[in-house]
Structure 1
Amino acid sequence: MFELVRHAIITLIDWIFRRRSPALQVMRIGLSCLAIALGVTWALDISIPLGGGEITFNVNAGEGTPGLVVSGVALLGGLLILVGLIWEIVRYNAEQQQLSRKKVIVIEARGLRDGVGLALADAVPTNVEGRRDAVIVDLRQGVVDGHIVSPQAAVDKLVSLPVDLERRELGTDRSDLLRVYGGLAPVPFTFLTGVLIDDETSTIVFDWDRHLQRWRLLDAPDDQKRFVVDGMDKIVAGADEVALLVSVSYQVDAIGVGKKLDGIAQISLSLDGALPDSHWSEDKQRALGQQFLETTIQISNMGIRRIHLFLAAQNSVVFRFGCLYDKRNLPELIVYQYQREENPPYPWGVLMPVGGRPRPEVV
């Protein structure tokens, strides 16, 4: 019993002195006052030896003016503790009410394999405040080990995502809303998810770490490596279409693109040091996204009406690029699926709902 009481007291003291709030600060001051008052409730005798004798000081906190001072300090400490406690209870209740309004929409796209891994909602850190609402976008009915059997079935599932999000977020103030995204899905579907979700709501992006076998935030330092842009001078005046090859994790198969789109100019964005693990920096991804967006704007300014996008990148990068693509002002866009064994290795793509197109189409 004694150990239980002792543990409770220690826990209370740790909670009071580790948390940071004005109310708890007032309680700390009150506790300090009580400690001082209790510390001097005994008689205090001080003797200083001198050559001709000694000087003696005697203070008795229980009598006279010192006793009144000590009692006043003790009373002040008690009042401060009471005021701090009431203040902290009010603050805590207000905080809980605010947290009850906050909502975290966790969007997880599953579309490559049927393996069971850690759910994204379980990987969101506890310091991300708000009620979790998991949205599972399961595209695996149309996928066999990364090979898409029915791309149209997957597209039809994705089309309903904005409506589902709107329903879940209805009545929630934008300041109380946060989205979290992570996925393992084919490139065209991931890009389409980004286009459909857009970047108007604050979103935290996760990616799957294949080495650690868990979801991971983009928390690595920026290595300052950026895209090398090539081929802008190959665009012929009056051309309607171009192929945009973006290599982040692997190099895009330029020969395969040539077989798919014979005679169409190729523009490439190649990451210096492209590797499967070259994407773990949030700052780096933002810079790459800015380069991607600026390149598509330049292409649009040249009068191009359709971009064929061949993208080799990690899920988080593909999603970010989809969010960034301007649906109203940039050209039509087809994002292609890569399948090495096919000839050419890009058998189909998804025509995105951009450039005035209301719905995505499999082409």
Structure 2
Amino acid sequence: MSFWRKHGDRFLDGLITYIFRLPSWPSRFLRAGAALIVAGLGVGGLAGDLSWIDADRVLRLAVQADGGGLSVYWSQITVFLGILLVAAGLILGIIDHVTDRRQLRKQSVVVLEHRGLHQTVDTPLASAVPKRLKGRIDVLPVDHRQSTSTSQISSPEDALSQIAGLRQQLRQKRDAAGPGNIKLVYGGMAPVPLTFLTGMMVGNEAGLTVMDWDRFAERWREPDGADDGDRFTVSGLEDLEDNTAEVALAVAVSFPSDADGIRTTLGDMPLVRVALPTLSTTAHWSADKQSAMAKDFTDLLGDLMAKGVERIHLFIAAPNSVVFTLGRHFDDRLHPEVVVYQYERSASPPFPWAVKMPTHGQSAAQIVISGAIPIPPATT
């Protein structure tokens, strides 16, 4: 009895939804069969007699329903057809259920969890996978924390090597699951250059769900908030001379760009700034807004290409999911070379290292140490 109190309402709600709301052949058969049974019992004058006798007992069921203009014969046929349709609906429903369960076992939800900067976020991303994503959870961790000293990456080369085979790993999992049977969930807290590179590696993966850590709610969540309409504003592009080979591009979403730090790192290189009108660590919780930022970013890259720019030194102050999204929309065959920098306020210079992304025939990303390993000049 306690089981029925606990689960009875849920069972009835699910049954009603399945029969009357879901468009499927089993539900159609069940509805048609129920209608015929009701019609046969309620409209016709139905009389029936079912007996079963053995040596010990006699079981007899008699049904009598008067009314209507149908004969007892046609009423019985109507009820019999209704029972057949209900039985067919139940059998088809069971077959569909078994097929769905088999298909579900084939589906895989690959959880790409990217860790690198903070030791305090211990909630696994796999525990926050949205319930709409059905299938076996397959965790693909990328954890740079063994290369981390406090909140800084002490060995960026080792961290970079962990991402080198990511694209191949995703391809293998997709091939193993079969076409259409894999969903990808990404989330993390990692250095900007490594997050941007991971976005490039994932690219336009079908069935991708991006999540981020909400530091105030202390949980993983999707960018599911309302779009406030704020969009990037660009400054410095109008002052850029044609055929400028290299520029610094500063993108500000959560915090202002450190212009002094950029000058300390690169000298007097031309600087183009992109920023939201209102900077905030919560300015990114809208999927539509992130899509708009990605479009504005790629449009700006096209404008820089039109100016003759061949290499971009990229500085991003944004939440992890935004950096990842910008990386996903960077075209390694079309856009200029890009070097993405890591910010560490106490370092000298404040952007001590960067990752030169794999573009234009360069198959592997490269670590660039500011002031130690000069970047070859862009070709003209």
TM-score over 0.5 for the pair: yes
Q: Secondary structure at the match of 2:123?
A: coil
Match of 1:67 among 60, 66, 72: 72
Shift of 1:78: 1.0
**Corresponding residue for residue 14 of structure 2:** 15
Q: Distance in 1 between matches of 2:7 and 2:76?
A: 28
Q: Distance in 2 between matches of 1:98 and 1:196?
A: 28
Alignment CA distance shift 1:147-1:7 (3 Å)? closer
**Corresponding residue for residue 104 of structure 1:** 109
Shift of 1:80: 1.5
Shift of 1:113: 2.0
Shift of 1:76: 2.6
Shift of 1:112: 1.3
1:199-258: CA deviation from partner (whole Å, max 9, x where unpaired): 243311111111111110111111111000111122233322100000011111111111
**1:215 equivalenced with 2:214 (yes/no):** no
Alignment CA distance shift 1:321-1:72 (3 Å)? same
Q: Distance in 2 between matches of 1:318 and 1:288?
A: 10
Match of 2:28 among 25, 28, 31: 25
Count of matched residue positions in the alignment of Structure 1 and Structure 2: 347
Name structure 2 gaps, 5 residues minimum.
47-63, 369-380
Q: Distance in 2 between matches of 1:91 and 1:242?
A: 59
Shift of 1:297: 1.6
1:28-82: CA deviation from partner (whole Å, max 9, x where unpaired): 3323443555567999xxxxxxxxxxxxxxx952999553444333223211210
Match of 1:93 among 85, 92, 98: 98
Q: Distance in 2 between matches of 1:60 and 1:109?
A: 69
Q: Secondary structure at the match of 1:234?
A: coil
**Corresponding residue for residue 156 of structure 2:** 151
Name structure 1 gaps, 5 residues minimum.
44-58
Q: Distance in 2 between matches of 1:40 and 1:314?
A: 68
**Corresponding residue for residue 52 of structure 2:** none
Q: Secondary structure at the match of 1:157?
A: helix
Query: Larger deviation: 65-74 or 235-244?
Result: 65-74
Shift of 1:6: 8.7
Shift of 1:154: 0.4
Shift of 1:327: 0.4
Structure 1 contact 307–332 (Cα < 8 Å) conserved: yes
Query: Larger deviation: 63-72 or 282-291?
Result: 63-72
Structure 2 contact 311–338 (Cα < 8 Å) conserved: yes
**Corresponding residue for residue 132 of structure 2:** 127
Q: Distance in 1 between matches of 2:7 and 2:327?
A: 52
Alignment CA distance shift 1:327-1:4 (3 Å)? closer
Structure 1 contact 61–70 (Cα < 8 Å) conserved: no
Alignment CA distance shift 1:4-1:324 (3 Å)? closer
Shift of 1:106: 1.3
Shift of 1:14: 3.3
Q: Distance in 2 between matches of 1:266 and 1:6?
A: 67
Equivalent AA in structure 1 for residue 108 of structure 2: K
CA RMSD of aligned residues (A): 2.6
Q: Secondary structure at the match of 1:108?
A: strand
Map of 1:1-363 to 2, 5 A cutoff? Answer: 13-19=12-18, 20-22=22-24, 23-35=26-38, 37=40, 61=66, 65-363=70-368
Query: Larger deviation: 330-339 or 23-32?
Result: 23-32
Q: Distance in 1 between matches of 2:38 and 2:233?
A: 67
Q: Distance in 2 between matches of 1:39 and 1:146?
A: 76
Q: Give the TM-score taking structure 2 as reference length.
A: 0.84
Q: Distance in 1 between matches of 2:135 and 2:255?
A: 37
1:93-142: CA deviation from partner (whole Å, max 9, x where unpaired): 33233323322211110111223532212211221123221101111011
Shift of 1:193: 0.6
Equivalent AA in structure 2 for residue 178 of structure 1: K
Q: Distance in 1 between matches of 2:4 and 2:224?
A: 42
- Percent identity at matched positions? 36
Equivalent AA in structure 1 for residue 32 of structure 2: I
1:263-294: CA deviation from partner (whole Å, max 9, x where unpaired): 21000111111200000111110110001011
